[in-house]
Structure 1
Amino acid sequence: MVDESAPLTPNSTIGTWLDHPEGGPLVRGLLEASGAGEESLAPVRGLPLQQLVVMSQGQMPQSVVDDLVMQANGGVAPENAGDETGWVEQVTSGRFSGRTVIVTGAASGIGRAVAERIAREGGRVVTVDISADRLQDLSSSLPDAKIDTVVGDITKQSDIDSIVAAGGERIDGLANVAGINDDFSPLHETEDAMWDRVIAINLTGGFKLSRAVIPAMLERGAGAIVNVASEAGLRGNASGNAYTVSKHGVVGLTRSAAFMYGPQGLRVNAVAPGGVATGIPPQGETSEAGSARLGPFQSAIPTIATAPQLAASISFLLSDDAVNINGVILPSDGGWSVQ
């Protein structure tokens, strides 16, 4: 039951807003203006209202959320507007002290959340992305952390070499997070360019970077690699052909490496996210056939996660807390994969 006396804030859950006598009409009015219904928010009721800005992929400015908060509180900003509700990230101080971890796709979304988590837990992070500006923004946001940035493309061997050089003699962990979506096209519509690009970034890039760091890990007899697969890597679903194949490939890459290198002290695992509020758009024009299958499928998602929630799973597998875990494909999907 909603506490009507508590102020609504950007961090109040979407469910709290919808169930509140003041907040509910405001959010429903916002949905109506965009041509959507309340049912579209069912999977994200447990997320903070603030997360709608990220999920909108640039369509909703921060000012919209700020205005809703002001309207819900009689034109006065609540004093505890920064208070968290629901799940709150619990940083484990010193968990990565003395460790160097490479994180790809670190400029945004899951990759940035992983890099931030490791840095706050005392690790040195080599952040990798193609966006120099966003990498600089990450580094500037944690001025006291040990963060090195490499602007690079994981599909290019010269950039792979630069990433490994930045890591130095000791590389303790690698998080292969970088990835892109496809256009949701079925096999007969998938064009060569789409296939080649998605496979290159989602699968081949992680293969090349893992190949490059494993020798140093073998020399030390220790190391952890975490790949980002997907719910689409566990079964066939409404994701496009190229994306689904790439994530199935990540699963195979993970299991093969875990089997090969486990006896030599290396752990290789993967996280398979379900719906995540990262705002990663499809590539190019979305396939009509794929879109027709996508809508009903997405309606079955039990919940949408935030990037920090996925980072919690990934950082766990990178850490010594996962000392006895190897070759696991960990669904981090709110139970979607068991439906």
Structure 2
Amino acid sequence: LGESPAIQEVRSIIETLRGVPNTTVLIRGETGTGKNLVAKTIHYNSTYNAGRFMEINCAALPDNLLEAELFGFEKGAFTDARASKPGLLEIADGGTVFLDEIDSMSLALQAKLLSFLESRTFRRLGGVDDIRVTTRILCATNANLEERVMEKEFRKDLFFRINVVNLHLPPLRLMGRDILTIAEEILRQFARELGRDVEGFTEAAREKLRTHTWPGNVRELRNVLERAIIFARGPQIDADDLLLSSFDGLDFSGSNNGTFQFPTGATLEELEQAYILHTLKTVNSSYAEVADILGISKKTLWEKRKRYNLDAQV
């Protein structure tokens, strides 16, 4: 949606990819910019649309489980492997596997992925037979992979292999008038889904949408509009219907030097939510690194991000 130069470029690249089968694409952009939606659009507008679209967040699982999910395993490959199971690469043969937050993948697993991309063959965990598939790989990240390569946290050879086509999604705050175009389409979608007779925005609401910085990008916009349409009191969304902060006045921002200021009067759950959000904003790095700083696993961080809806606020 939209007519800004950045969106037109994204649309042009997607259209070009329609006639270029099996090209690896790296989708880049801040959290909430719609990388998942773009990946699905690339899949369904390609010759791979007859196959399945499978996605996995590389930060959501520990390495051993991520490897098993991707490549599958044979019976007895590890404890509790009571039966063989195909991985996503097999299930999506002839289709697409979308690897979100690929920067969170370990170096060892990166090497195995690179081997697959070069040969189009792999072995299940515990297997001895090479399996050949035509699965297309799409990757996404919100991290600076060039810096990760320099810091030896991401393989240089894999970076060049997945960066054949680089598709950068602009943050919502830089999309000018397109913000209202996107908001109006999202509003129509929610009106249909929720059966609400709401049409458009008042001028005050439009101004509020235009001037907000949208740190959570399109994901934040969707959350704000879903709530607005549920509680709207008139035929149009007004400025008062747009709740742009979920913290009800509590100051969770921290001080200018990056130290965390504990808000007074907050519950233990609110403190946890605030501290995780503060760390996500301050570190501005991969979820794996944030999890290390917090002293929790990537899976636990993922669960708390979903529980507190933090991705819409980073």
Judge same fold: TM > 0.5, yes or no.
Answer: no
Question: Which TM-score applies when normalising by structure 1?
Answer: 0.30
Ranked by relative contact order (alpha carbons within 8 Å, sequence separation 6 or more), the top structure is: 2
The TM-score normalised by the length of structure 2 is 0.32
